[in-house]
Amino acid sequence: MGCDGGTIPKRHELVKGPKKVEKVDKDAELVAQWNYCALSQEILRRPIVACELGRLYNKDAVIEFLLDKSSGKALGKAASHIKSIKNVTELRLSDNPAWEGDKGNTKGDKHDDLQRARFICPVVGLEMNGRHRFCFLRCCGCVFSERALKEIKAEVCHTCGAAFQDDDVIVLNGTKEDVEMLKSRMEERRLRARLEKKAKKPKAAESVSKLDVSEESAGPSKIKAGKPEETSLDSREKKITPASKSAAAAANGSSSGRVGKPPCGAAKRSIADSEESEAYKSLFTTHSSAKRSKEESAHWVTHTSYCF
């Protein structure tokens, strides 16, 4: 029954005790959260975006996820709350001048310092390696350390100057309590936006209906207003007699200085007897300047063959 060859078993080999809880290496967890995409598990590369729960993603991975939402993807649960590209914010990160990356590790024998981070806080200078709490502003996407926001209290972004509220501050890779708080705020924000959108639709419909009613009411009124004017003009034209028309024509002719056709039965008068100016009278053949004297008249006779 075993124990052959003089082997002596120990107690922990015979008695099964409770399983030990596997402890996750904190350094490895921090590296995975701050250097790798939460959706594709690839190294973070610009453009980097963050969701409303404070998780970091590659923008390309988010776009691919939105275009192909297959149920077979196990990693899709990390981005199940992302419904459109508007639910993520592109981050404005400040590079760390002391970070070299893989430039000096050409042979693969260089020690990787996990405390060294690619990005830093532009205000305080803390490295974004998970040892310090960082947050970003949802209105502009600028990233700061929580210490910078607490020490320099302002209602304006320290980098771009955009105004923000407390609701716009989102913690990056926060604890479970932070994630629950951010999730409740996200749901409230989306519910508020949905209600505002529903409230805008009836108002738009009412404004359109009012415009239609006003146009319909304005149309008949214009027609009604036009009819009395037309009838009054017709009645006035009918009331004008032929005698008044001739009198008006004669008055117009005398005022303008031109001689029009005289009315029936009126006596003809010459231009010479009128009171017009000499320049006006000289235009007619009855004027003295148009008459030639005997000296100015021709003294030859034109020969025409048809006379003989």
Q: Which stretches of the chain drop beneath a pLDDT of 70? A: 1-5, 69-76, 102-115, 204-205, 208-272, 290-308
Given this model, what pLDDT does residue 63 score?
A: 92
pTM for the model stands at 0.57
Given this model, what pLDDT does residue 105 score?
A: 61
DSSP string across the chain = ---GGG----HHHHS--PPPPPPPPHHHHHHHHHHB-TTT-PBP-SSEEE-TT--EEEHHHHHHHHH---TT-GGGGGGTT--SGGGSEE-BPEEPTT--TTSS-SSS-SPP-TT--SEE-TTT--B-SSSS-EEEETTT-BEEEHHHHHHS--SB-TTT--B--GGGEEETT--HHHHHHHHHHHHHHHHHHHHHHHHHHHHHHHHHHHHHHHHHHHHHHHHHHHHHHHHHHHHHHHH--HHHHHHHHHHHHHHHT---PPPTTPPP--STTS---HHHHTTSTTSGGGS--TTTS-------GGG-
Are 139 and 164 within 8 A, CB to CB?
A: yes
Partners of residue 137 on adjacent β-strands: 169
Given this model, what pLDDT does residue 100 score?
A: 78
Tokens of 241: 């007699």
Tell me which residue of 38, 36, 39, 33 sits closest to 69, measured CA to CA. Answer: 39
